[in-house]
Chain A
Amino acid sequence: MTPANTFKFERVGYRYGRDEWIFRDIDFVVDAGESIVLLGANGSGKSTLLKIMCGLTFASAGRLLAFGQEITEEHLENDSAAKEYHRRVGFLFQNSDAQLFTTSVKDEIAFGPLQMGMKKDEVRARVDDVIEMFGLSNLADRSPYRLSGGEKKKVALASVLVLNPEVIILDEPTNGLDPKTQRWLTELILKLNDQGRTIVVATHNLDLAHAIADRALILSEDHRVVFDGPTRDALSNREQLIDVNLIDEYFHIHEGKHHIHQYRHN
């Protein structure tokens, strides 16, 4: 394994209960600074795979290496190892309601840095910066559950980015967002990637996949990786997309070069 590898999946399998395998023998590598999109229909196992990457749940078979270190339950039982890993790898949950658990937006954003043992003054400064960056000033003292879907997503993302992670993993980030907020999010992801962060996004939003990722992995409905290569090729292979039930035969994919430009040069 070269140091440039951020994640390395080696024959990873996952099951619920005794022998209900969700997937088996997953092999792929994520390099540092890459931007990868994980495509797959509902129930194909995207969320599960991402949670394994984040060290929130653990492979039932095979192993996952991250930053050259095998990530196991035992390894993360050590508090400082766990804190370090979770600081480096940020995760935006599919369900913002689960992610927001404190009673004010400010507390929510401060939660991570405080757990990491950052000094309180520094935490305050960072929180203020992030609130400013996300334009959340007028919501800072509100309860997170009184926000709209888009605002919740922003707060959740703010609470991840405040830790300044090297790797940012996002689970269906554009779900339920209006087009403007989707666009804002897309640009943010591009920017973070430009700054050298590794990005992994699970989605079935082909627009988003197109805009942000050079490389795509496709998970089939029977939970296998059926494609690993350039996003452009993934999106132009209609048969395959139909095969994994992401689109049907009436779906049109237009040529997307202009579109990429639109995002890249903003």
Chain B
Amino acid sequence: MVGPSIEPGNSITLPGWMNQPTDEKEHRLQANSDRGKGSGFLNRNLRELRQVMLDDLLTERYARRDYWLQQLDPRLKLLAIIVLILLVALTRSITVFFVMWVCSLLLMSSARLPIWSLQKRIWGIFPLITLIAAIPAMFSLFNPGAPLLELYHSMAPHYWLGIRLPEQIYISRQGSIAALVIFLRVGLSITWGMLLVITTPSAHLFKSLRVLRVPLLVVMILEMTYRYLVLLIQVSHEMFEARKMRTVGKLSLRARQWQVTSSIGALFIRSMQLSEEVYQAMTARGYTGEAVSLDE
């Protein structure tokens, strides 16, 4: 049998400070400065993204249960969701939005999805960002109309640097509704998309695209994009964990910026190499530019 067997050899000389493990106390002092809380915006978001991508989508944790929503034909689901998202994009009625939201909650509960954590994820990031971006639209400066809340009023016009300042600034009813509509649109679109994706195994989802006469090549590109995304998130997560393990205490802003840019560089190179290999793997199995699928 051939096998490695390492005998006590002296070929590796350790530097002097490595001859003894670091003093426990000294170690703790350094590590105390920052641990546990405040892991930073980037870390938190990566963790969140990974949680959604890996835990919920990849493990297909919710997609593989036997409730009616999960059992529904994915093609039907896809069509229904497209209609619903179109409706979200076209309507301006707050009542319709509200009814849709209640319906989505009912659907989630009937599919035994974790409603509260989904709501946090759906409304917590993107719609909120949209809402903040839409705040200027609420003011009379951009969207005049019926005043809802007056902030400033003066009888005579004032000038500043030759600019005529408005006599009145208020939050307008029309502006507020516009901002609210944008917020609800984003949130509800995500809701419907999420509901589809989380209750349907990705393989079925991609297949159902074929019903809409999406060309096979496009479906394959989507599949592979999804695949890369997953791999990149996995890799980036591992990279950040590896870095975090080696980082004690707080880093300066500069150091963190450098970490992020260099990681993105490394990720880019890895994804280039990977896409080259994936293409070779397809070629090795006879792909010559025109893909064939089993179900047609």
Which A residues contact B (CB, under 8 angstroms)?
51, 54, 56-57, 79, 82-83, 86-87, 90-91, 93, 95, 97-99, 101-104, 106-107, 110-112, 114-117, 120, 123-124, 141, 143, 145-146, 159-160, 163, 206-207, 210, 235, 247-248, 250-254, 256, 258-259
- Interchain CA distance A101-B183 in the complex, whole Å: 36
Secondary structure call for the A interface: helix
- Interchain CA distance A37-B136 in the complex, whole Å: 69
- Neighbouring B residues of A247 by C-beta, 8 Å: 4
Q: Indicate if B79 sits at the interface (CB-CB under 8 A).
A: no
Q: Indicate if B293 sits at the interface (CB-CB under 8 A).
A: yes
Which B residues contact A (CB, under 8 angstroms)?
1-7, 9, 11, 58-60, 201-203, 206, 223-224, 226-227, 230-231, 274, 277-278, 280-289, 291-294
5 smallest CB-CB distances across A and B, nearest first, come from A98-B277, A115-B286, A112-B285, A103-B203, A114-B292
- Interchain CA distance A253-B292 in the complex, whole Å: 49
Is the beta-carbon distance between A250 and B278 smaller than 8 angstroms? no
Is the beta-carbon distance between B60 and A143 smaller than 8 angstroms? yes
Is the beta-carbon distance between A101 and B5 smaller than 8 angstroms? no
- Interchain CA distance A51-B280 in the complex, whole Å: 9
Closest to B234 in A: A145
Supposing A95-B277, A117-B292, A141-B203 touch, asked if A250 and B5 sit within 8 A by C-beta, the answer is yes
Is the beta-carbon distance between A107 and B282 smaller than 8 angstroms? no
Nearest CB of B to A17, in Å? 15
Q: How many A-B contacts if CB must be within 8 Å?
A: 119
Supposing A115-B292, A117-B292, A124-B294 touch, asked if A91 and B206 sit within 8 A by C-beta, the answer is no
Is the beta-carbon distance between A111 and B227 smaller than 8 angstroms? no
Is the beta-carbon distance between B231 and A145 smaller than 8 angstroms? yes
Closest to B206 in A: A103
- Neighbouring B residues of A95 by C-beta, 8 Å: 277
Closest to A80 in B: B288
Nearest CB of B to A16, in Å? 12
Is the beta-carbon distance between A159 and B285 smaller than 8 angstroms? yes
- Neighbouring A residues of B277 by C-beta, 8 Å: 93, 95, 98-99
- Interchain CA distance A222-B292 in the complex, whole Å: 43
- Neighbouring A residues of B2 by C-beta, 8 Å: 206-207, 210, 235, 253-254, 256, 259
Is the beta-carbon distance between B6 and A250 smaller than 8 angstroms? yes
Contact of A251 among B5, B224, B282 (CB under 8 A): B5
Is the beta-carbon distance between A123 and B281 smaller than 8 angstroms? no
- Interchain CA distance A207-B7 in the complex, whole Å: 19
Is the beta-carbon distance between B274 and A82 smaller than 8 angstroms? no
- Neighbouring B residues of A210 by C-beta, 8 Å: 2
Among B4, B6, B60, B286, max chain A CB count under 10 A is at B286
Is the beta-carbon distance between B58 and A115 smaller than 8 angstroms? no
- Neighbouring B residues of A98 by C-beta, 8 Å: 274, 277-278, 280-281
- Neighbouring A residues of B293 by C-beta, 8 Å: 114
- Interchain CA distance A99-B282 in the complex, whole Å: 8
Is the beta-carbon distance between B274 and A143 smaller than 8 angstroms? no
Interchain residue pairs with CB less than 8 A apart (27): A82-B286, A83-B286, A87-B286, A93-B277, A98-B277, A98-B278, A98-B280, A98-B281, A101-B223, A101-B278, A101-B281, A102-B223, A103-B223, A103-B227, A112-B285, A112-B286, A114-B293, A115-B288, A145-B227, A163-B285, A207-B2, A250-B6, A251-B5, A252-B3, A254-B2, A254-B3, A259-B1
